[in-house]
Amino acid sequence: MKAQLIGTSLAVAAAVAAAATCTAPVPNTDYWGNDITTTSRTRVADCCTDCGKTAGCTHYVFNSYTETCILKSGTPNEATTVEGAFGGKLTSAPVPTTAAVPVSGGNQCSIVERDTDYIGNDITTTTRSQFADCCTDCSKTAGCTHYVWNSFTETCILKSGSGDRTPVTGAFAAKLKAPAPLPSPSPSPSPSPSPSSQAPGCGERVRKSWRMLTDAERKLYLKATSSAMARGDHKLFVTVHSNAMTFGEAHGSTCSFWLWHRRFLLAYEEMLRSQGPEFACLTIPYIDYVQDSVDFRSGKCNSVKSCSNAAADLLALAPVAANPVRRGDWSRVRYDDRFGFEAIKRLILPAGQKPTMTAISAAVETNVHNIFHSILGGDMQTASSNNDPIFYLHHATIDLLHTIYRECRLKGVADNDERNFKECTVRYDGRNTRNVRGNTAPMMMQASTDVTADPRMKKWFEGVPNTYMALTDASKLGKFSYKYSLAGFLVDMNNQCDAVSTRKKDLRESGQIMTRMGRSENDIQRDWRAAVYTQGQADGLSDGAIEDEMEKIMVMMYENCFPGGTVEDFTPEFKATWGITEPKRSWTLLQGIKSGTNPIHISRWTEINMEYYNCAGDVKSY
């Protein structure tokens, strides 16, 4: 938080009455994520002092090798073992000698509530350096009743309705005295609305990454999931997904994959909302495995469990006797190179190319989609993969990639453009086929009955758009419309689109919510990309060719630099289940590089790798 804001906007005296105290530092311990800033110190005790003086700091990690204090905010994530690291938590911070003076949240708002968030009901965001400006934005936004200002990112989160109050360090909340009116309804006749489980005041659906959720939001989602599993509602969706006819249409590198799952996820979201009034505004979160991969590369974590707090939290979810889940050992599963920025950006936004939606969809399905199913093991490797609740977070991420693709490639494109939708033929039961057109309804069978006719499930599918063409734009689904809240490299992709993103650029207008995050490991990766890009230009390569070379270089890094990141192909059993006929792309690239049939064409690539990752990448370093 800026000193000026503390001194003026918040009217808080700067004098300190007591020194900060912390828990005893725990040797060889890191708490990944939530970094605020760093300081250079020779003693671990000084990190506690620095944390106490830093707004929002709740814990720290001391790197004894570099003599650096990494100051962190929020609730500490799961501890991971890192040699030479010392982790500690703040127990009492310095307090002002003068009590904070009550400050209005703006001319039209109530007194501001410090370190306070109200969960859910997000409408939109604005960027403001002072929280009082959020009040003005709220008063001009239809349906806005209150706001929460994130002092670290200087972001106003405008909200509707009410919401559960929860403590969040660095958040400032205030309510509008006279809520902005909703637009007057059109006088023209309109069809009667379909019944909805969406409670009044929920506002627009916003899907956030699991990393973004507060502890209260995570607990609420897990509680809804446990309820659905105990009542048998979750299992009903498993039988639909594993139905041979359904599974055949939903998979197989066709035009149906992305949009079939979009409808399926919306119905599941409706089911979760129906578990009780407290869940009425839930949305399915997504897994930011692009950021997880950054942490894996930087050595902050070494497995899906330690890199992904979503995976860790779902593993910790108490087993439901009525709905057991089979899993592999996620503490030993490593992130594949396919989850990194280079590979995903190339899948959905290949520079210099304009493939059809079917081609993009097939690329996503056969790469990051299939690989996540493969590496997690257990139910996730089977047609009953959605028995594991992580399935829905995974597919929310896959859906997010379609949203970014649409934002970047389909502005102003006609519905009948092949980049929006192109009809295809699906083999829906292993033998028979059917043509899927824009006006085709996705096949979703509960045994031999369509879900819209099944007495147990039809209420959750009611009103959800039911043709492939109607599902192409997530912002035009009526009351089921939704957007995503993005951070990190997902912002880079959505914001910079086809440009080879090597530096941050000003945020453009977007249908998604984009928030900057300051993390040193992200900047290292951007600097690496900038160095490779500059060298590629010097070598006379096009942007598209440079992206291809970056992808190949990173394959070599996973093979030789990151412990446990060895590149392997799918197993024959997994290929048979999911109808995969081609080897994994990273495996093909690795064989081409090793054999010399597809060498890396960026000169000095090993030197660049050494500079930023301390590993050349051409030979095993571990």
**Three-state secondary structure of 424-447:** EEEECCCCCEEEECCCCCCCCEEC
Is residue 102 in some structural domain?
Answer: no
Whether residue 307 is contained in a domain is answered as yes
Q: To the nearest whole percent, how much of the chain has pLDDT over 70?
A: 87
Lowest mean pLDDT, pick from 389-393, 466-470, 521-525? 521-525
Task: Count how many residues are written for the chain.
Answer: 622
* Mean pLDDT along residues 186-214: 64
Q: Are residues 226 and 346 in the same domain?
A: yes
Does 139 share its domain with 120?
A: yes
| Same-domain check for residues 236 and 369 | yes
The answer to whether residue 79 is domain-embedded is yes
Q: Is residue 481 part of a domain?
A: yes
The confidence band for 246, taking pLDDT boundaries of 50, 70 and 90, is confident
How confident is the model over 347-371, as a mean pLDDT? Answer: 88
The backbone torsions φ and ψ at residue 430, rounded to the nearest 5 degrees and listed phi first, read 90, -15
Residue numbers of the domain that contains 565: 501-613
Mean pLDDT, range 385-411, rounded to an integer: 94
Q: Do residues 90 and 20 lie in contact, with contact meaning Cβ atoms separated by under 8 Å?
A: yes
Kindly state the tokens that stand for 233: 């509602």
Tell me which residue has tokens 């000084």: 46
Q: Are residues 237 and 310 in the same domain?
A: yes
Q: Kindly give, in sequence order, each residue whose CB lies less than 8 Å from that of residue 324, ignoring residues fewer than 6 positions away.
A: none
> In this structure, is residue 248 part of a structural domain?
yes
Residue appearing with tokens 């495995």: 289
Confidence class for position 181, pLDDT limits 50, 70, 90: low
Whether residues 338 and 220 share a domain: the answer is yes
Pairing status of strand 482-487 against strand 205-207: parallel
CATH at 140? 3.50.4.10
- pLDDT over 50 (residue 9): no
End residue of a domain, out of 496, 531, 557: 496
Residue 88 DSSP SS3: strand
**Could you tell me which residue, 19 or 199, shows the higher pLDDT?**
19
Count the Cβ atoms, other than its own, within 10 Å of residue 541.
Answer: 17
432 vs 482, residue with greater confidence: 482
Residue 598: its pLDDT value, please?
Answer: 96
- Domains identified in the chain, total number: 4
Q: What is the rounded CA–CA span in Å between residue 601 and residue 598?
A: 9
pLDDT, residue 87, reads: 92
Reference 496, options 345, 355, 369; nearest CA is: 345
323 and 371 in a single domain? The answer is yes
171 closest CA partner among 211, 119, 210, 240: 119
Average pLDDT, integer, range 244-253: 81
User: 484 and 510, same structural domain?
Assistant: no
Per-residue pLDDT at 188: 37
Query: 156 has which bridge partners?
Result: 126, 149
| CATH number of the domain to which 324 belongs | 1.10.1280.10
| pLDDT the model gives residue 152 | 63
Residues 40-64, mean pLDDT to the nearest whole number: 87
What pLDDT does residue 604 have?
96
pLDDT of 549-587, one tens digit each? 999 999 999 999 987 667 888 888 888 887 788 888 889
CA–CA separation, 487 and 271 (whole Å) = 28
Burial 507-528 (b: 16+ CB within 10 A, else e): eeebebbbbebebebbeebbeb
User: Which of 462, 496, 530 is at the close of a domain?
Assistant: 496
Q: How confident is the model at residue 356 (pLDDT cuts 50, 70, 90)?
A: confident
CA 312 to chain centre: 15
302-337 pLDDT, tens per residue?
Answer: 899 999 999 999 999 888 888 999 999 999 888 888
CA-atom Rg of the chain in angstroms: 25
**227 with 221: CB under 8 angstroms?**
no
Query: Last residue of a domain, which of 467, 496, 525?
Result: 496
Q: Tell me the HSE value of 5 on the side-chain side, using a 13 A CA sphere.
A: 17
Q: Does pLDDT of 96 surpass 80?
A: no
* Same domain (yes/no): 340, 356: yes
**Residue 305 counted as domain residue:** yes
Decide if pLDDT at 416 tops 90: no
Claim to verify: residue 402 and residue 490 sit in the same structural domain: yes
Statement to judge: residues 393 and 511 lie in one domain:
no
- Do 312 and 415 sit in the same domain of this protein? yes
Tokens in use for 139? Answer: 């008063």
Is 190 within the bounds of a domain? no
Measured in whole angstroms, the distance separating CA 159 from the mean position of its chain's CA atoms is 21
Is residue 205's pLDDT more than 70? Answer: yes
- Is 550 within a domain? yes
Instruction: Check whether residue 417 and residue 337 sit in a common domain.
Output: yes
